[in-house]
A and B are shown apart, each in its own frame.
Chain A
Amino acid sequence: MKKRRFSFVMAVLFLFLSFMVLISLNMGVVNIAPLDVLKTFIGQGTDRHELVLFNFRLPSMVLALFVGAGLAVSGAILQGVTQNDLADPGILGINTGAGFAVILYIFFFQQSMAMVSGVGIYILPLFALIGAFLAAFLVYALAWKKGVNPIRLILVGIGVNAGFSAVLIIFQVKMNPQDFNQALVWLAGDLWMGNWNLVLVIVPPIILMIGWTIYKSRTLNVMNLGDSMSMGLGIQVEKARRTFLLLAVGLAGLSVAAGGGIAFLGLVAPHIARRIVGPGHQRMIPAAALIGAIFLVVADTIGKNIIAPAEIPVGIVVSIVSTPYFVYLLMKTQ
């Protein structure tokens, strides 16, 4: 029965996601009716519709889906491993670390944000990953004091985050105004390159990592019982923790490469998932991935259309929507 209920929930979420994708695809500067979207998909649309859909909207839609899922799973892992409900790649400074590395890369090796192309598309995610790992390593090392206490980890994360932001702004103000604006938008969270090449670079590893996480999710359940208990059950705690942290940081780094510094999504999605399907990670993580994807697609649609033709970066929408929820969680947790 429980299993059936879970399948039902997942089916509903999936349907809702498909519906949102369809809505989102037909909105924008060029309006395409939902029926025309479907027609275009089966190869019967006009050339113009095909161009808009396949070259612009679809790649950024795919990126939105996987960035949302990646951040959500990253947050779910971090919350499980640190046993802290308020953990999130943004709060722990991982997003800013990745953003920092990307801005440095653009500052030193590319003429401008708009010109990232060719090999750049493949190197950019690499830089984001390096930055994410650097930040994670810093936070972990600085919070280490005969073990890592969850509260200390979060506080150190806030500090490292502030440090990266400060150095970041030094480089940012040296950019020309147009780059500066783009960098600002991107750092606030923006799916900035709707580009099939980027999809090819980013999406397969995200799928692999999410899959691996789900496959190993039972270990996370056991780890939640506490270190001594899991050792008793035959898990090498430190090793498992390190593997999971690597997965979480990798997911966050890739997501930042495509979507910029989207905050709080990794925090909120796992909480909603836990509400709906319960705390078992083998169900919670897939649900969180779907919810993260829905969240980001909805936020992206709102950001693109609410003050059209101008756009609000998706990260700002996410932050405005999810801060109240974060505050609510903060007030509830001890």
Chain B
Amino acid sequence: MILLAVTMALSIAVGVTDISIGTVWESMFAFAPESTSHAVIRELRMPRAIAGALVGAFLAVSGAVMQGLTRNPLASPSIMGVTHGAAFALILTIVFFPAVSNIGMTAAAFVGAGLGVILVFAVGSFSKGGLTPAKLALAGVAIGGMLSSLSSAISLHFQVAKQMSFWYAGGLAATDWVSVQILLVAGAVGLTLAVLISKSVTILSLGDEVSKGLGQNTFLVKALGVIVVFVLTGAAVSVAGTVGFIGLVIPHVARFFVGSDYRLIIPVSAVLGSLLLVLSDIGARLVNAPYETPVGAITACIGVPFFLYLARGEGRGSL
């Protein structure tokens, strides 16, 4: 938590114009409306840092819940088609209803997230031999590939490809206080629910039979888990685009630290996810300053080696 606070302060301080940590402190506790740095901090840097922290937390918690429910070490929002589905719905909305409000876009992202996850799950559950990690990854690649092909066809046709692609690659540059409000509302619902079901997820992660034997309503837990994933991922994608791999990597790291109890994994994932995304966002601003690098590219550079490590079957819960 302390580390997170420091990183966020750093994130507020770092940018095209460097602002000292002291000024950041002043702007918070002795706000001077006439100072440009103070205005930059209040209107741009602060919402960006907060949104980054929330998006990171949401993606990590979604990933943790998905991995717990499916007992699949590769389950995560970007692999399971959730982010691509949300992105596809958003592109449709932006192209066909350009006047839509922020709330409307978030709603579209929820619907799209649902569409993606239903498609991938359907493929998985209709296959012979069930939803093995390899099948899940392939189904995710296929559905994700098709949805993003459709998205690029649409964005090319309507000549909004570059904006779309930047957003598609994930970025926090456009966040403002409205995005933070949306995230806070979604977080209040999603994170609370996630914490409430965390004990049941732990039991479910031992297997369906064990869970039923202990008198648990597996269907209810799964349904609530899916709602958590929709709400959190939908909100995250509508604000930050498709930031991949956080939901895949962080739950594994959390499990490494605190063991297999989801009552601990979920909060720890949230904090670690925030930390990773805020750090990546700082990286996104610094790598090629003064231009922004898509933050999704940065998280992928961290996430891909980890994915390969899991794919080689060397991590916990090996394939």
Contact = CB atoms under 8 A, between A and B. Distances in A.
Interface in B122-158: 123, 126-129, 133-135, 137-139, 141-143, 145-146, 149-150, 152-153, 156-157
Contact of B139 (A161, A169, A327): A327
Interface string A64-103: 0000000000000000000000100001000000000000
Contact of A180 (B134, B161, B308): B161
B87 to A, nearest CB: 14
Interface in B94-142: 123, 126-129, 133-135, 137-139, 141-142
B317 interface: no
Nearest to A173: B166
Chain A interface mostly: helix
Given A173-B169, A181-B161, A86 B138 contact: yes
Contacts of A185: 156
B212 interface: no
B207 interface: no
Nearest to A263: B145
Interface stretch (B54-62, B64-72, B215-223, B290-298): B290-298
A159 B300 CA distance: 10
Contacts of A161: 141
A147 to B, nearest CB: 13
B288 interface: yes
B244 interface: yes
Secondary structure class of chain B's binding surface, majority of residues: helix
A185 B123 CA distance: 28
Given A145-B312, A154-B138, A334-B128, A319 B301 contact: no
B311 A172 contact: no
Contacts of A169: 165, 169, 294, 296-297
A315 interface: yes
Interface residues of A, number: 48
B116 to A, nearest CB: 13
26 contacts: A86-B138, A143-B311, A145-B312, A145-B313, A151-B134, A151-B319, A152-B312, A152-B313, A154-B137, A159-B307, A160-B308, A161-B141, A166-B296, A166-B297, A173-B169, A180-B161, A181-B156, A184-B152, A264-B142, A307-B157, A315-B149, A316-B153, A326-B142, A330-B123, A330-B139, A331-B126
